[in-house]
Structure 1
């Protein structure tokens, strides 16, 4: 599978450098074009129609990287974005994450780190495509999965437990990818092609947790990591991990750890 990538920066030398000095073909990536501002990037995305990845600067004339991210988030939600900025300000990173940007790197960019991030995103895209292909070729019935292919139609008898494990496994993959966003149970149910009520019941049975408990568990674990390893303020961390209300974040954090976020941070600093 070849992944299509667009590079966006108002400095042509940077665009050419990122395009020509990195052996992207080694990672099954094709740089389909370069653009020099957000408006130019939108035209290039529309012209090519099948862009998978966008690497963009933040500060650009006419339309900046955040405005570009907002457009792509609304109109091309499957495109993965990496944002590069020379401005070490949380507000940019915070806004970028809210707009669906997957990674936020500071200039000067470490090329090895950039390549690592890009490759990770291509793996995510590949996994999602496999999931989509599997779902589109599977008709789930009570005890039988009928597999359709272009050359033959076969039947694979599966026990209910096997089928359930497969469904919940795919749901967990999706949740772990998107738990920092405003994810909902019905959205995940749609992904694995079952009804929301059935999904909620099945998920609880398989994981021992409700959907919200599972999401909050992931968010609190990430919050603990950020409290220990970053200087971000507590309310900033709350937003980064997916909580829209600070008070609710503190409440959930205490339920999971018996500590307030600030107490937890102070405790970690003494270790």
Structure 2
């Protein structure tokens, strides 16, 4: 559904355009209906897919509004103007309006015009989506990926920061904000979870598992593992083998 702004230059015709069609069936939603004084402010406050300007009886004001809109926006404009003034239609095209419909308004013409505009909007959206670049991986995702690949090494956030060309202090704060834990806490968790998996699924010696997860000192690994799981590595392996 495309949102649209209706601008009624002649206040006596307010709501007449809104009541003309079932806009939703044509893929449009009337987001606002306003006069010329508020139109530019509304356009500046939010994006619209279409602006319909009913300038019957007030052609100069309508063209002036088109000119002011085109200063900052390429939003599609559909004009409703005096049917006998063909010179007005030619002037309107100078502002690259999508269509100019003469009054009295033919509802079939209005419907056909809206369908054409919608097809153009659909096509533009498809092109924009195809051309949209893939979302780059966040720097925190890169930190986590690097940590996972280097789990068996003595990796530090300082080293990763240098590789990624980031300030270490900034990266540490950003990591804690996004992950709700420090980098060292995250690294410990990954190492302990990996150690648990190896204890459960392999016959590797405890010292081999310790090396696999970045610990060269066995006492330090034993201490960290028991603190993390509540049991020693040997006890954990026995427990898992019993329950398997």
Normalised to the residue count of structure 1, the TM-score between the two structures is 0.46
Aligned residue in 2 for 1:93 = 89
1:90, distance to aligned residue in structure 2 (A): 2.8
Q: Rate the CA distance shift 1:150–1:108 in 2: closer, same or farther, 3 A.
A: farther
Correspondence 1:114-129 to 2 at 5 A: 114-129=110-125
Greater relative contact order (Cα 8 A, min sep 6): structure 1 or 2? 2
1:11 to 2:7 alignment:
no
What do residues 98-134 of structure 1 show as CA deviations (whole Å, max 9, x unaligned)? 1111111111000121121012101101101110110
- TM-score scaled by structure 2? 0.50
Runs of 5+ unmatched residues, structure 1: 138-147, 152-271
Q: Distance in 2 between matches of 1:42 and 1:122?
A: 23
Q: How many residues align?
A: 137
Kept after mapping to 2: 8 A contact 1:7/1:15: no
> d(CA) in 2 for partners of 1:93 and 1:135?
35
Q: Are 1:103 and 2:102 matched, yes or no?
A: no
Higher CA-based Rg: 2
Aligned to 2:63: 66
CA deviation string 1:195-249 (max 9, x = no partner): xxxxxxxxxxxxxxxxxxxxxxxxxxxxxxxxxxxxxxxxxxxxxxxxxxxxxxx
1:25 is matched with which residue? Answer: 24
RMSD: 2.5
Quote the Cα distance in structure 1 between the aligned partners of 2:93 and 2:21: 26
SS at match of 2:9: coil
2:177 corresponds to which residue?
none
DSSP-derived class of the 2:48 partner = coil
Post-superposition offset of 1:67: 1.0
Alignment of 1:32-47 (within 5 A): 32-37=31-36, 39-47=37-45
**What does the per-residue CA deviation read over 1:56-99, in whole Å, with 9 as the maximum and x for residues that have no partner?**
123576x711111112222111x111111125223211111111
User: Is the Cα–Cα contact under 8 Å of residues 59 and 85 in structure 1 kept in the other structure?
Assistant: yes
Counterpart secondary structure, 2:17: helix
The answer to whether the aligner puts 1:53 opposite 2:47 as a matched pair is no
2:77 aligned residue (56, 81, 92): 81
1:64 counterpart SS class: helix
